[in-house]
C-alpha cells in the first residue's frame, strides 16, 4: 500500500487498532529524530577567543553582570570529547549558570589534534599550555589570583599543574569527577593490564588514538546501558519533546569524540592506569617530581556516586595527599556526565560550585 499524502496516512491510521496507531507514531517519531531532524545547537553562551596555541583556544565568556567576582575562573576539560559539555544548552550549562552568578569564566579548549600532534605529552600540556592560559586569564581579568576547575581528566591535569606551580597565585581548585588513584579502576584494571593490553603497539600503530576507540572502551563498561539504553528510552518517551531535546544534545556530545595524542595516551595508560604513579609521588614531568602534597590552594573535590569512569574511590584519595587547610570532599547522587548536565546538576552541582567559589573569590 502506497500513500501519496500525509492525510491519506492519517485516514488509514484511523481505521487501525489503537495499539497499531501508537506503534506507527512511535516508529515515525523515532525515525525522524534519528534521520531527519537537524543537530541541536550547543555552546551558546556568548564568548570570545583571547588566546590560541596550536589547536587550543582560550575563551572568555561574556559576563552577565556588570560586577563579577574578584577571582576569575578557568575551566580545563579532558583530552577526549568536546568541552561544550560544560556549556551544553541554555538552562543546562555550568558556564551559563556561573556567569549569571557574576563569575568571570574562561575555558581552555584543547581543540582537535591531528596526526602532526602525535608527540604531544602531558609535559607539554602541564608546562606550556596551562601556564600560558593562566597567565592570559590573569592579564585579561586584571586579577591577582585565579581559580581553576578541572573536569574529568582535566582535573588530573590541573592537579599536576598546581603541584608543580605551588608558588603561582592559585587561590581555589575545583576537581569534578577527576581520577587521582588508579589502584582500582574497575573493569579498566582488567582491560588495561599490561599483560594483556599492548600499549606500545597501540600507540605506535595509530600515532594518535582514534576517538572511537576511547568511546568504545567507556561504553563497554555498561554496554546495554550505553548502546541499547538510549534508544529504548527514546522509543518509550517519544511523545516527550523536552526529553527528545535533551536526548539529542547528549547523543551529539557522546558521538563527538576527538583523537588522543599518542604520547599523551602512552603516559595516561602506562603511568596512571598501569602503574598508578600520581598518587604515589612517582610521576615525573620533564624530570620534575609531581607531589600532590605541594598543593596548598583551597580545594573542592567532587565525586559522583554512580560514576563508572572515575569512581569515588579514585577521586577521594586526593584529599589526604594535599596540604590545603581548606579542603572539602562531596559526593553527588549522579553519574560521570549527569554531574554536569541535567536536572540534578542544575539543582545540586551548579549551586554547590557557585557557593563554594563565591565564598572564596572576593
103 is an active site residue? no
32 is an active site residue? no
336 is an active site residue? yes
**Which of the following is catalytic: 307, 308, 326, 354?**
307
User: Sign of the C-alpha dihedral, residues 161, 166, 168, 169?
Assistant: positive
Contacts of 162 by beta carbon, 8 Å cutoff, 6+ apart: 148, 168, 170, 173, 294, 295, 297
Angle at 166 between CA 160 and CA 168, to 5 degrees: 110
Compute how many other C-beta atoms are within 10 angstroms of the C-beta atom of residue 177.
29
Rounded distance between C-alpha atoms, residue 99 and residue 64, angstroms: 6
Grid coordinates in use for 351? 549551586
**Which of the following is catalytic: 104, 152, 181, 354?**
152
Instruction: Please state whether beta strands 73-76 and 146-151 pair in parallel, antiparallel, or not at all (unpaired).
Output: parallel
Rounded distance between C-alpha atoms, residue 294 and residue 283, angstroms: 13
**Which of the following is catalytic: 103, 104, 336, 354?**
336
Contacts of 344 by beta carbon, 8 Å cutoff, 6+ apart: 332, 333, 334, 338
Rounded distance between C-alpha atoms, residue 29 and residue 172, angstroms: 47
Q: Give the residue numbers marked as catalytic.
A: 152, 307, 336
Amino acid at each position: 500500500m502506497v500513500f501519496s499524502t500525509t492525510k491519506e496516512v492519517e485516514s488509514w491510521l484511523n481505521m487501525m487498532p489503537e495499539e497499531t496507531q501508537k506503534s506507527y507514531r512511535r516508529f515515525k517519531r523515532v525515525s525522524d529524530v534519528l534521520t531527519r531532524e537537524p543537530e541541536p545547537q550547543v555552546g551558546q553562551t556568548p564568548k570570545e577567543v583571547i588566546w590560541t596555541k596550536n589547536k587550543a583556544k582560550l575563551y572568555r565568556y561574556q559576563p552577565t553582570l556588570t560586577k563579577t567576582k574578584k577571582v576569575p575562573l578557568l575551566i580545563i576539560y579532558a583530552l577526549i570529547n568536546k568541552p561544550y559539555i560544560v556549556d551544553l544548552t541554555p538552562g543546562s550549562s555550568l558556564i551559563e549558570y556561573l556567569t549569571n552568578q557574576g563569575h568571570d569564566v574562561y575555558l581552555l579548549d584543547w581543540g582537535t589534534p591531528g596526526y602532526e600532534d602525535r608527540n604531544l605529552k602531558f609535559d607539554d600540556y602541564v608546562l606550556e599550555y596551562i601556564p600560558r592560559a593562566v597567565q592570559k586569564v590573569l592579564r585579561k581579568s586584571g586579577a591577582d589570583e585565579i581559580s581553576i576547575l578541572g573536569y574529568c581528566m582535566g582535573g588530573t591535569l590541573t592537579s599536576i599543574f598546581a603541584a608543580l606551580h605551588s608558588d603561582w597565585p592559585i587561590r581555589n581548585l575545583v576537581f569534578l569527577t577527576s581520577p587521582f588513584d588508579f589502584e582500582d579502576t574497575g573493569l579498566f584494571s582488567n582491560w588495561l593490564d599490561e599483560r594483556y593490553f599492548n600499549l606500545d603497539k597501540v600507540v605506535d600503530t595509530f600515532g594518535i588514538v582514534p576517538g572511537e576507540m576511547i568511546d568504545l572502551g567507556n561504553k563497554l563498561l555498561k554496554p546495554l546501558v550505553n548502546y541499547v539504553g538510549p534508544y529504548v528510552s527514546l522509543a518509550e518517551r517519544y511523545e516527550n519533546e523536552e526529553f527528545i531535546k535533551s536526548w539529542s544534545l547528549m547523543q551529539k556530545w557522546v558521538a563527538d569524540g576527538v583523537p588522543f595524542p599518542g604520547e599523551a595516551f602512552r603516559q595516561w595508560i602506562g603511568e596512571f592506569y598501569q602503574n598508578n604513579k600520581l598518587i604515589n609521588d612517582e610521576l615525573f614531568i620533564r624530570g620534575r617530581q609531581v607531589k600532590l602534597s605541594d598543593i596548598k590552594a583551597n580545594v573542592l573535590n567532587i565525586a559522583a556516586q554512580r560514576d563508572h569512569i572515575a569512581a569515588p574511590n579514585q577521586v577521594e584519595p586526593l584529599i589526604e595527599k594535599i596540604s590545603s587547610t581548606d579542603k572539602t570532599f562531596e559526593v553527588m547522587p549522579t553519574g560521570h556526565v549527569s554531574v554536569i548536565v541535567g536536572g540534578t546538576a542544575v539543582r545540586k552541582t551548579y549551586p554547590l560550585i557557585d557557593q563554594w567559589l563565591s565564598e572564596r573569590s572576593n
